[in-house]
Amino acid sequence: MTDWESKLTARPGLTLGLVLAALIVWRLIAARDAGLNLSVDEAQYFIWSLDPAWGYFSKPPLIAWTIAGAGLLCGDSETCIRLPALLLFTATAWVMAALAARLFDARTGMWVGIAFASTLLSSFYARFMTTDSLLLFCWALSLMFFLRALETDRWRDWLALGVAIGFGLLAKYTMVIFLLCALAVLWLDHRPRIGLKATVAALLGLAFLIPNALWNQDHHFATLRHTAELAQLDRELLRPASLANFALAQFAIMGPLLLPALLVAAADRQSWRTDPRQRLLVLFSLPILAGFLLLSLLTRANANWGATTYIAATVLAVAMLVQRNHRRWLVWAIIINLLLAAALYHWHRLAPAIGVPITRNTDPFHAVRGWDTSGRQLAEQMRATGCHAVISRDRGTLVELAYYARRTLAVPVTPLAYNPGGIPRNHFDLTADIADRAFDCAILVGRFGDDQVKHEFSTAEALPAIDVPDKGILQPMNTWRVSGFTGYGGVASGR
């Protein structure tokens, strides 16, 4: 061990804490400098958070609850809405370090925590409030409690495992895969642990979904249908391009040097066949990655769908590098990951410096710019008309305008859905269709014709167009002050 590593690992917990704290500060400063608007999903989650429920159209409820809790502490700014993601990814790195320390040693734990915090998975998703921040934290915590339960067989560890699984399921249904991985570990290495305590833990976790299941039942199983539709397995038989894109994306997510390390560790079958620690990590990572690779061959798979792979996978890869004294590879893997993160965070300043103009095609964040301008313009119309509701047929336009108009006016703005087809495509079609929701007046936003608007509303006054982002470019969008909805096509209806 070199002198620099001896100094670095003399107090691994302190070193890890300082690194994670530095990353929090850097990410907060970088986010403030970039000035990114909320994404469509973030704006949607915020609006959900204003109406706490046991379920929503496309996701279980934990993300809305988390944003609501953050709002009580720090308000409704973009920074506050996103703060839980940053803190949760930091906490996940800390839990992973504790997990690796329990499996191997404190020095390995320190490297695992730093390595995970450096990945683009952490760097990108710590910047936006998504369900992945909640899922990965619950997954890491569940894995820690599972390991403790295997070692001690204490009721409190099994019950803690059940609670962690339950919250994970309320974050994202993907958490059910954890139960399958745990069952594989129990069957292969810990059959005496298959009994009452393990069963209670699993049932406790699943019981968290009962209120969500009842909500789905009351809403025609909207979330389950939406989740099934994402697969699109009936479209094309095989999609090799989708497989290639998904596989390449994994190198970006874990890192161009860390993922090869994982593949080397996975290829060493003798080690994980004889070492139950490595076998546990393999069973909680490689089958998940393989499953999503197969899914990407059959349908369009988002790069982050296999994110739970990288909890155990990072521990496995880093432990292999530490045990084999490949620390230089590990250090370079972390440095390269952080350089990639820096390029991503500061691209708006780096690009002009190297002669690359910032355009829709060169700005990776073009989709989260311009909505604050649109919201301010809508807010001015609301001030002038006295209407505090907005109607749109497009979910993204609806939630972004509702959030940024609310921020400008500092009063609630009601989003209402224009859904002539009657088939819910999102949460607002399901719960806020203008055919079912009474309103005094609203601002209708969209590419509608004057005749159509006047036919469907008893009063309709054309207003100046507002600028709405379309693929990174502000485009004029027509608006009207409307009231007295008479039905789609002018035919009264109610559902």
Domain ranges of the chain: 3-348, 370-490
Total Cβ atoms within 10 A of residue 280: 26
Would you say 303 and 289 are in contact if contact means Cβ atoms under 8 Å apart? no
Q: How far apart are CA 83 and CA 445, in angstroms?
A: 31
Total Cβ atoms within 10 A of residue 28: 14
Q: How far apart are CA 62 and CA 67, in angstroms?
A: 9
**In what helix (H) or strand (E) does residue 25 lie, and over which residues does it extend?**
helix 12-34
* pTM given for the model: 0.94
Q: Could you give the percent of the chain with pLDDT greater than 70? A: 94
Least confident of 33-47, 133-147, 226-240, 470-484: 226-240
What is the arithmetic mean of pLDDT over 374-385? 97
What pLDDT, in 10s, does the model give residues 413-424? Answer: 999 999 998 889
Please give the class, per CATH, of domain 370-490: alpha beta
**Sheet holding 389-392: strands in order across?**
414-417, 389-392, 442-445, 473-485, 457-470
pLDDT at 11: 86
List Cβ neighbours of 39 (8 Å cut-off, separation of 6 or more): 128, 367, 368
175-197 as b/e: b if 16+ CB within 10 A: bebbbebbebbbeeebeebeeeb
Q: Which two tokens stand for residue 225?
A: 């249908």
Rg (CA), the chain: 25
DSSP state of 446: S
Q: Does the pLDDT at position 234 exceed 60?
A: no
pLDDT at 492: 52
Q: At what angle do helices 78-103 and 40-49 cross, to 10 degrees?
A: 100
What pLDDT, in 10s, does the model give residues 428-450? Answer: 999 999 999 999 999 999 999 89
Angle at 135 between CA 132 and CA 140, to 5 degrees: 120
Q: Does the pLDDT at position 251 exceed 60?
A: yes
DSSP letter for each residue of 362-404:
T-TTGGGSSHHHHHHHHHHHHHHH---EEEES-HHHHHHHHHH
pLDDT at 493: 47
- Of the pLDDT bands very low, low, confident and very high (cuts 50, 70, 90), residue 494 is very low
User: What average pLDDT is seen over the chain?
Assistant: 92
What pLDDT, in 10s, does the model give residues 295-305? Answer: 888 887 888 99
Q: How far apart are CA 359 and CA 270, in angstroms?
A: 51
Q: Does the pLDDT at position 481 exceed 50?
A: yes
Q: Does the pLDDT at position 491 exceed 60?
A: no
